[in-house]
Amino acid sequence: MPSVSLRLAVIGAGAAGLVAARELRREGHAPVVFERAAAVGGTWLYAPPAAPSDPLGAAATHSSLYASLRTNLPRESMGFLDFPFVAAEATGSADPRRFPGHEEVLRYLEAFARRFDLLRLVRFETEVLGVRREGRGRWAVTSRKLGDKGSGQEEVYDAVVVCNGHYTEPRIAVIPGIDAWPGKQMHSHNYRVPEPFVDQVVIVIGASASAFDISRDIASTAKQVHIADRSTPLRRCVKQPGYNNLWLHSMIDRAQEDGRVVFRDGSSIKADVIMHCTGYLYDFPFLGDDSTITVDDNRVDPLYKHVFPPEVAPQLSFIGLPWKVIPFPLFELQSKWVAKVLSGRIVLPSKEEMMEDVKAFYSKLEARGWPKRYTHNFSNCQFEYDDWLAAQCSYPTIEEWRKQMYFFNGYNKAARPESYRDEWDDDDLVEDANGDFKKYL
Ligand code: FAD
């Protein structure tokens, strides 16, 4: 098989960009990582509280973390496949909990970058402004150093790997009457601490892990918190067990000029704040039409196996789009695949075959009745996908304990939503994981 070494641009130095850089270099390529921030970590670089100029928008910060955040996956399952996320000196650990605080994840990613000597590949405080297709399948990347004026510097790369994350651009709920409603609105992207909500009445919209955690966080200071969840077909509001100021409702029906918010369950409340925990939008502001992809109702289209746009593959690729997954191992396997495809060790199907595959996948989603915005939702299929990638790369499949631990955590979370981070029954799986980790430590 031929092996080619390419000069590559990687956009982003979060978990995806870091592992992509490692895999690309392992394969003999020369990656340059562009990172807008001054440090690695992406999402895990906590941005301290500040009054955002636009509380509903992406504002100036990339990260959506709030101060009290602990991981929602057990650490053994979360880490990269050959660099275990264990509470050890090698990972810079200072928080040995199984579901540690966000600072521990950042320390782990920093340790990963140091261990694999990735920092010297990163151009910090350098934003990619544009990616334009050149002749012979190459790409011109325009970037600008923070503080510099002007239109930036253009360089040509053999290929571009996009790792810019997808938890920054807020998706907002549409609420009839909201323009005349006098209260304050905010997106969870800009939520950090509960103190500003002392004595306030807050409505939290959403059913995600963030909505669950943030509503509890705010309930520690607010007068009342009301969760509006469109997937809850309730006729009336329900007080949440263990709280005297937290209620669960069905979705908001409308907001009124007098400050009241009416729920579909018929109840209404005069509220001070609506917090949208309503998720995020894929956004690639640096890509133009020549990237061949569009984003419609959160479907990044078309992508072969959620990674390569068939028309311009393999010179443009995306790492990290799937959600409802264990992210780091999935990023790692996608990166191995991209690296080997770029070097010619793995050959992609023809453009036509890749398009057929994409269409067949969309037909499957339609048959299942899933909306477009669930295109990259991997609930129930992530391990099949991971194992497919691993097989392409002749790499071992995902460990059995990791798969079981993921499902077990899901059950435990459903059974003990308030305490799953501190109580569990899968110590046997932890033991299996630690046994496996010995070969990497
Ligand atoms: P990011 O971490 O977002 O990194 C993208 C990077 O790209 C950033 O550093 C950004 O500055 C940079 N960038 C973007 N645009 C440009 C540009 N134009 N030029 C240069 N640089 C650019 N995952 C877990 O495994 N466990 C958890 O418990 C967990 N909890 C989460 C809780 C919350 C609230 C959120 C939002 C996410 C959580 N995740 C969790 C998922 C988390 O997003 C992933 O673990 C992972 O960090 C995503 O990595 P990424 O590299 O894809 O994106």
Nearest CA to ligand 1 atom 27: 71
Q: Which residues line ligand 1 (CB under 6 A)?
A: 11-17, 34-37, 42-44, 62, 64-65, 71-73, 78, 127-128, 163-165, 167, 210, 286, 320, 327-328
Predicted pLDDT of residue 307: 98
Predicted pLDDT of residue 233: 66
The per-residue pLDDT for range 239-287, each reduced to its tens digit, is 899 999 999 999 999 999 999 999 998 889 999 999 999 999 999 999 9
Q: How far is the centre of ligand 1, averaged over its atoms, from the C-alpha of 13 (Å)?
A: 9
**Helix count and strand count (H, E) for the chain:** 9, 21
Q: How far apart are CA 441 and CA 437, in angstroms?
A: 6
Q: How far is the centre of ligand 1, averaged over its atoms, from the C-alpha of 294 (Å)?
A: 21
Q: How far apart are CA 312 and CA 295, in angstroms?
A: 16
Q: How far apart are CA 105 and CA 236, in angstroms?
A: 40
Nearest CA to ligand 1 atom 7: 12
Cα–Cα–Cα angle for 12, 17, 22, rounded to 5 degrees = 145
Q: How far is the centre of ligand 1, averaged over its atoms, from the C-alpha of 378 (Å)?
A: 17
Say if residues 226 and 205 touch (Cβ distance below 8 Å): no
Reported ipTM: the value is: 0.99
Structure tokens at 224: 């009342």
Q: How far is the centre of ligand 1, averaged over its atoms, from the C-alpha of 327 (Å)?
A: 10
Q: What is the number of the ligand 1 atom nearest to the C-alpha of 12?
A: 7
Q: Residue 40 carries which side chain, given as an amino acid letter?
A: V
Nearest CA to ligand 1 atom 31: 71
- The stretches of 87-175 forming alpha helices (DSSP H) are 102-115
Residues in the chain where the model's pLDDT stays below 70: 1-3, 233-236
Q: Which of 164, 188, 204, 321 to mutate to test the pocket of ligand 1 (most atoms within 8 A of CB)?
A: 164
Structure tokens at 107: 């320390």
| Whole-prediction pTM | 0.97
**DSSP-based three-state secondary structure for 160:** strand
Predicted pLDDT of residue 1: 46
E-assigned strand segments in 244-322: 246-249, 252-255, 260-263, 268-270, 273-276, 280-281, 294-296, 299-301, 316-318
